[in-house]
């Protein structure tokens, strides 16, 4: 779609390949995150889990790790497609890129799981989730795109480590917040 939107400029597409890859992952994440709570609302299964009783924080960790795995697998499918479509050279090697895809998937999943739970009770849940989630994810998206671009093009100025630190900090903050706030989100107080 980006090809059609920006025209047939191969060099431009290659230069921005990391951005397209992460936008693809981000848009797909909305469907994946929404689905993870749709199955919970089908027969009020989330109530069943709570009353089992399952600790709400354990539900958060389980859901968020499940969402991470789903997104990571999806990104692993998108990666070769991106490399082939945009004719990208992976200068720093595929393993580094796979690592960034994992850190990025973790970064999307923690706040994504909390907001998917909030949006699951709303009538316009499919619209609400991206509206709530995307602004929060801007620092993570920035870090993922910059880190991936450096892995594609090479890192002569040693900037990669600082972007990875940003992503790790984002993960620490949002996984901790999710762990603390999730019980408040799913309990009908």
Out of 15, 49, 65, 136, point to the residue binding other proteins (CB under 8 A): 49
95 close to 42: Cβ distance less than 8 angstroms: no
Site string for other proteins, 3-42 (x = CB under 8 A): ------------------------------------x--x
- Verify binding: residue 123, other proteins, rule CB under 8 A: no
For other proteins, give the closer residue by CB, 158 or 187: 187
How many residues touch other proteins (CB under 8 A)? 17
- Verify binding: residue 189, other proteins, rule CB under 8 A: yes
For other proteins, give the closer residue by CB, 52 or 157: 52
- Verify binding: residue 43, other proteins, rule CB under 8 A: yes
For other proteins, give the closer residue by CB, 49 or 136: 49
CB of 25 to other proteins, least distance (A): 25
Tokens of 146: 């910059």
**Chain residues that interact with other proteins, rule: CB under 8 A:** 39, 42-45, 47-55, 187-189
């Amino acid at each position: 779609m980006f090809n059609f939107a920006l025209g047939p400029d191969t060099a431009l597409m290659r230069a921005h390949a990391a951005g397209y890859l992460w936008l693809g992952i981000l848009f797909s994440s909305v469907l994946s995150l929404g689905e993870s709570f749709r199955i919970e609302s089908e027969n009020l299964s989330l109530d069943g889990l709570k009353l089992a009783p399952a600790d709400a924080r354990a539900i958060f960790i389980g859901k968020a790790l499940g969402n991470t795995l789903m997104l990571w697998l999806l990104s692993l499918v998108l990666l070769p497609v991106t490399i082939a479509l945009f004719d990208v050279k992976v200068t720093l090697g595929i393993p580094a890129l796979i690592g960034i895809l994992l850190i990025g998937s973790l970064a999307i999943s923690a706040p994504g799981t909390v907001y998917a739970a909030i949006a699951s009770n709303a009538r316009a849940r499919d619209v609400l989730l991206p509206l709530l989630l995307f602004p929060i994810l801007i620092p993570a998206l920035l870090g993922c795109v910059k880190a991936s671009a450096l892995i594609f093009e090479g890192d002569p100025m040693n900037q990669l480590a600082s972007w990875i630190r940003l992503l790790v900090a984002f993960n620490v903050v949002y996984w901790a917040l999710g762990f603390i706030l999730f019980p408040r989100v799913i309990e009908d107080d």
